[in-house]
Copies of this chain bind each other. A is one copy, B any other.
């Protein structure tokens, strides 16, 4: 099993002409590094004039004309992949894909990517080429230009940092903070067990996000990188509401069932679906009416499932088989 991505991930929506001390900052929490997070909050406090005003999967940067959306993720050998467990192409592909997933979460259109790599000095050049091939192939599929980078060697493991640049689509950005009490919780795809391989091969939901944003009113969205229950609790929290999940409705992947069986049911397939990370599916908040229309929309190439709704009681909840509301502990990569 892979190690866990910690300290924390954070982003904000920044105005270019604000100084650091007036930039609105939202940190996507980490229990482990709460001291660091608290410090960053204090160091870069909120500001009322920042566009959209809250942190999200990517940062919006206002330019003299228009704006761009930027996100960055670093993958590290032994943490996000193991060399002996994956193909070099898969590493390059994943390095770009996780960033495209962040742009998809905001319904932004990816435009270009820039890559910084620390390469082990003994790594064969063939490996490096294959890694870039994987990245370039995915870029080509999504019409994303490779815009440049910085490639360095050192005597330590491979680290690859990709920054993806996108732009808002017609209707502006979708954020994490717009879910309303009563909204349906929709999710794309299936959850759990991505560690068995899907975390290297997932398809970022870029086209789906842009399509849904164009056709329907999406109140809020995010991508699931750290685990469905954890990320859903974050979206609800940033929207100032709670969320209740009907566990019977959670789409459980075959991988989750397989993993549960392989591990002798130490965790159920449902638990894997709720807490495994790196599904890179979307959580959407939409009105119940919109949910009906989306669920009836035959033109989406991906499964969409209603798994619950946003509620006024803060926190994360699950509906039991008897219909009772019970607390559901958000779990995922940070624990």
Contacts and interface: CB of A to CB of B under 8 A. Distances in A.
Interface string A165-188: 101000000000000000000000
A173 to B, nearest CB: 14
A159 B120 CA distance: 13
12 contacts: A10-B149, A16-B111, A18-B145, A19-B145, A20-B140, A36-B125, A36-B151, A39-B125, A43-B133, A59-B112, A76-B118, A150-B161
A71 interface: yes
Contacts of A40: 132
A58 interface: yes
Contacts of A61: 68, 111-112, 145, 147, 165
A117 to B, nearest CB: 7
Contacts of A150: 9, 72-74, 161
Contacts of A128: 36
A10 B147 contact: no
B111 A63 contact: yes
Interface residues of A, number: 77
Number of copies: 2
A15 interface: yes
Contacts of A8: 151
A163 B70 CA distance: 10
Contacts of A148: 10-12, 14, 55, 58-59, 70-72
A295 interface: no
A74 B145 contact: no
